[in-house]
């Protein structure tokens, strides 16, 4: 399948051509407007000519091997001519109409049929249910919308969207960037977003790729395409919608409910160097930032204003949204004070108004920021727009001159989104600079591109871990829906993860003997594959301090088991050491059906569901990711020693996370979920202990 015949066709056929107001007419007129250099073949047996072009009675009547055909007819009239197009050697197609997979079982069957025809013929298909493909970089269009003036549209952004209206919206504003391609992908029956990214990664007119994505239809190919684009130095900016957590029919462990689809996708995007954004404003600003001749080498930003209040507002928003505005160095502050007289706060944002001599002070402020060695980008903030009532500030010239003395990326920012002067945009473009809009959106875009430029954390070799424990626990049985605490902890113990001291017992006498050996106080639990969560049924007793209390707890649990309809006589129990102190945390694995296993981490015990403060990463982990997961949660603050408490052994905890992640990656074909909850993290140097564990294996496929 050659995407070039779809995305850069040299000859185009239009099935259903007519001079009536219609997608077909708009397309023929657009081809004339854009100056398409190749032949165009209108097809309709009712006409001899359409808009001055020879009209052909059938697909068979046009030359063999035309690059692309656009079907401008109702979906009920598509299938038979589509077969003929494939047989006639046409390399690519666009089906504009809906009525396929989005329209029930009949539509799904129709889409499966068109998929089969396309694959057999090696035919690329955009759609169905789409707007088509627009390629202003090479003066071609298969896009069903009126084209007024193609001149300002061409640029270096390739935009792929599964929503036609989003494509229309993007094309309404080309003030700061234009497009190499706009692809309204629709249902993606044949050619997917992954295919388009893969092609565009090598396309010379494309500098940055953006996508509006509702569904990722081929995860493995998608990830490979992201990696290819990153390797070619092209950011892929992704706005993924539909972020409600995937509904699961049954969630046995905690992790499956915490690692929703949106969180997993976000981490996959980050791992493979895509830039994720949350709304159209953020998407637009990242694409604008990418137009600069210089890109920020990292996410550290220096901001200059002519207003103390504006500086405070910018700092508030930056802090709230994780934008890194590092303080000025001592030398930077001293140099600022030398001219400005005083500096508020730590100097970033830098209020350079001083004594009001702005023609001296503002250039000096920019000189200070561009000279700071630890900053990656410099931003000048000043609100201005076309048609304003008062004279514009004319500060833009200061930034242009300052940019000539530095290798840092420089930007001019309106604090509100959407405010621009087009003459400034042109002036900045000629100087290799960019005008951005919105403090959150604009500074966030610089941060995102700076983080992309830093690259991903380095890979780390997986630990050599003991294997086979899970296979032994499962045996040949397909009936084991979960692996109970005792058996699960044996598996993790083989990995070098410290587990609590405990004994498995079957009667009260054995429980007493076990408690004497372990030492009071102890914990008593029921051990059963069929009861993964026992506390809610009263099947866990903690802080048992003597034999009488233990015997009583054992008898009580036997009664509760009987009340649940369980086989109390054959039940197993666990007598476990009571570990005092430490911080309780949680670690777990959840296998996404598309993207595989991810590791989740957060506060443990009941807090895992109460706060849902969880960090997430795909496995295996890269270097430094376990430590980052710990630091970015509330658990990290407790572990660091909150309010005078001793610091916990985070090094030992990170080792557990790495080992768990490596094991889960090795067992990815067999593990659905893992919960280690709680893990007791003891004071620094004392390690950590897994107190409870659960493994949910993937269901075995039944033989037909």
Decide: 45 and 69 in contact? Cβ < 8 Å.
Answer: no
pLDDT at 566 over 70: no
Confidence of residue 201 (pLDDT cuts 50, 70, 90): very high
Please state, in angstroms and rounded to a whole number, the distance separating the CA atoms of residues 297 and 374.
11
User: Rounded mean pLDDT of 111-115?
Assistant: 97
Helix axes 358-371, 396-403, angle to 10 degrees: 40
How many Cβ atoms are within 10 Å of 172's Cβ, its own excluded? 6
256-265, 448-457, 496-505: segment of lowest average pLDDT: 256-265
User: Rounded mean pLDDT of 439-443?
Assistant: 97
| Whole-structure pTM value | 0.91
User: Rounded mean pLDDT of 312-317?
Assistant: 96
27-31, 261-265, 578-582, 652-656: segment of lowest average pLDDT: 261-265
Decide: 167 and 161 in contact? Cβ < 8 Å.
Answer: yes
| All structural domains of the chain | 4-241 (3.40.50.720), 289-454 (3.40.50.261), 501-577 (3.30.1490.20), 583-697 (3.30.470.20)
- pLDDT tens-digit series, residues 342-377: 999 999 999 999 999 999 999 999 999 999 999 999
| pLDDT at position 703 | 39
Provide the 8-state DSSP code for 643: G
Confidence of residue 531 (pLDDT cuts 50, 70, 90): confident
Provide the 8-state DSSP code for 56: B
Which H or E element spans position 184?
strand 179-184
- Of the chain, the percentage scoring pLDDT greater than 70 comes to 93
pLDDT at 387 over 90: no
Please state, in angstroms and rounded to a whole number, the distance separating the CA atoms of residues 446 and 290.
9
Nearest alpha-carbon partner for 350 in 303, 396, 393: 303
Higher pLDDT, 478 or 15: 15
How many Cβ atoms are within 10 Å of 260's Cβ, its own excluded? 19
**Alpha-helical regions (H) of 8-127:** 23-34, 79-87, 104-121
Q: What burial class does residue 630 get, using C-beta atoms within 10 Å of its C-beta: 0-12 exposed, 13-18 middle, 19+ buried? A: buried
Q: State the pairing for strand pair 377-381/301-305.
A: parallel
Provide the 8-state DSSP code for 642: G
Confidence of residue 471 (pLDDT cuts 50, 70, 90): confident
pLDDT at 271 over 50: yes
| pLDDT at position 699 | 82
Provide the 8-state DSSP code for 443: I
| pLDDT at position 256 | 43
| pLDDT at position 414 | 94
- pLDDT tens-digit series, residues 142-163: 999 888 888 899 999 999 999 9
In the chain, count H helices and then E strands: 24, 29
Beta strands in 388-501 (DSSP E): 409-414, 434-437
pLDDT at 195 over 90: yes
Higher pLDDT, 242 or 137: 137
Nearest alpha-carbon partner for 664 in 693, 691, 641, 704: 693
Note every long-range contact of 72-77, with CB atoms under 8 Å and residues 24 or more positions apart, other chains counting: 72/14, 72/15, 72/16, 72/17, 72/22, 72/23, 72/24, 72/27, 72/96, 72/144, 73/15, 73/16, 73/97, 74/99, 75/99, 75/100, 75/107, 75/110, 75/128, 77/16
Confidence of residue 394 (pLDDT cuts 50, 70, 90): confident
Average pLDDT, the chain: 91
Provide the 8-state DSSP code for 483: B
- pLDDT tens-digit series, residues 235-260: 999 999 876 554 333 334 444 444 45
3-state secondary structure of 37: coil
| pLDDT at position 568 | 59
56-70, 562-576, 671-685: segment of lowest average pLDDT: 562-576
Please state, in angstroms and rounded to a whole number, the distance separating the CA atoms of residues 297 and 292.
12
β-bridge partners, 688: 681
User: Rounded mean pLDDT of 500-520?
Assistant: 96
**Alpha-helical regions (H) of 88-192:** 104-121, 164-171
User: Rounded mean pLDDT of 518-528?
Assistant: 96
| pLDDT at position 243 | 64
pLDDT at 611 over 60: no
User: Rounded mean pLDDT of 285-295?
Assistant: 98
């Amino acid at each position: 399948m050659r995407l070039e015949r779809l995305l850069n066709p040299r000859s185009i056929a239009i099935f259903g051509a007519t001079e009536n107001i219609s997608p077909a007419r708009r397309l023929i007129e657009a081809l004339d407007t854009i100056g398409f250099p190749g032949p165009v073949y209108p097809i309709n047996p009712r006409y001899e000519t359409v808009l001055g072009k020879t009209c052909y009675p059938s697909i068979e009547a046009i030359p063999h091997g035309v690059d692309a055909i656009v079907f401008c007819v109702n979906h009920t009239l598509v299938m038979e001519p589509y077969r003929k197009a494939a047989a006639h050697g046409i390399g690519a197609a666009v089906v504009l109409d809906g009525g396929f997979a989005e329209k029930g079982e009949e539509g799904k069957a129709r889409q499966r049929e068109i998929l089969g025809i396309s694959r057999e013929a090696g035919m690329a298909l955009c759609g169905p249910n789409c707007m088509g493909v627009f390629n202003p970089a090479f003066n071609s269009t298969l896009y069903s919308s009126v084209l007024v003036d193609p001149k300002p549209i061409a640029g270096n952004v390739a935009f792929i969207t599964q929503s036609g209206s989003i494509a229309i919206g993007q094309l309404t504003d080309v003030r700061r960037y234009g497009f190499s391609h706009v692809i309204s992908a629709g249902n993606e029956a044949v050619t997917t977003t992954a295919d388009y990214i893969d092609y565009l990664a090598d396309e010379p007119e494309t500098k940055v790729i953006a996508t509006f994505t509702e569904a990722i239809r081929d995860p493995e190919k998608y990830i490979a395409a992201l990696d290819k684009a990153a390797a070619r130095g092209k950011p892929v900016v992704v706005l993924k919608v539909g972020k409600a957590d995937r509904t699961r029919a049954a969630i046995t462990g905690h992790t499956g409910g915490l690692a929703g689809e949106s969180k997993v996708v976000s981490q996959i995007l980050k791992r493979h160097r895509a830039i994720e954004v949350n709304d159209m404003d953020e998407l637009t600003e990242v694409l604008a930032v990418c137009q600069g001749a210089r890109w920020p080498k990292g996410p550290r930003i220096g901001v200059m204003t002519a207003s103390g209040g504006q500086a405070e507002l910018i700092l508030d928003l930056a802090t709230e949204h994780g934008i890194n505005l590092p303080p000025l160095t001592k030398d930077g502050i001293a140099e600022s004070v030398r001219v400005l007289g005083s500096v508020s706060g730590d100097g970033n944002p830098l209020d350079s108004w001083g004594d009001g001599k702005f023609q001296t002070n503002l250039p000096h402020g920019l000189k200070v920021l561009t000279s700071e060695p630890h900053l990656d980008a410099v931003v000048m903030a000043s609100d201005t727009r076309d048609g304003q009532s008062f004279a514009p500030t004319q500060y833009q010239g200061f930034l242009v001159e300052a940019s000539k003395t530095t290798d840092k990326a420089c930007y001019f920012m309106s604090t509100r989104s959407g405010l621009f002067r087009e003459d400034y945009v042109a002036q900045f473009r000629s100087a290799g600079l960019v005008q951005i809009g919105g403090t959150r959106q604009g500074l966030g875009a610089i941060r995102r591109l700076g983080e992309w430029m830093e690259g991903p954390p380095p890979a780390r070799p997986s630990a050599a871990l003991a294997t086979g424990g899970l296979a032994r626990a499962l045996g040949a049985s397909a009936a084991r829906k979960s692996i109970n605490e005792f058996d699960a902890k044996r598996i993790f113990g083989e990995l070098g993860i410290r587990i609590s001291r405990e004994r498995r017992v079957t009667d009260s006498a054995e429980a007493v003997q076990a408690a004497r050996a372990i030492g009071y106080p102890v914990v008593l639990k029921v051990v059963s594959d069929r009861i993964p969560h026992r506390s809610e049924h009263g099947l866990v007793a903690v802080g048992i301090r003597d034999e009488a209390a233990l015997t009583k707890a054992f008898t009580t649990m036997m009664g509760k088991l009987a009340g649940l309809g369980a086989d109390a006589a054959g039940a197993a129990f666990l007598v476990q050491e009571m570990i005092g102190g430490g911080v309780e945390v949680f670690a777990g694995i959840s296998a996404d059906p598309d993207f595989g296993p991810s590791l989740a981490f957060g506060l443990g015990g009941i807090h895992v569901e109460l706060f849902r403060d969880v960090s997430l990463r795909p496995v295996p982990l890269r270097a430094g990711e376990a430590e980052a997961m710990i630091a970015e949660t509330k658990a990290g603050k407790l572990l660091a020693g909150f309010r005078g408490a001793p610091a916990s052994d985070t090094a030992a905890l990170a080792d557990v996370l790495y080992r768990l992640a490596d094991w889960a990656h090795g067992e990815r074909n067999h593990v659905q979920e893992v919960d280690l909850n709680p893990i007791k993290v003891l004071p620094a140097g004392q390690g950590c202990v897994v107190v409870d564990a659960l493994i949910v294996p993937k269901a075995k496929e039944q033989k037909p």
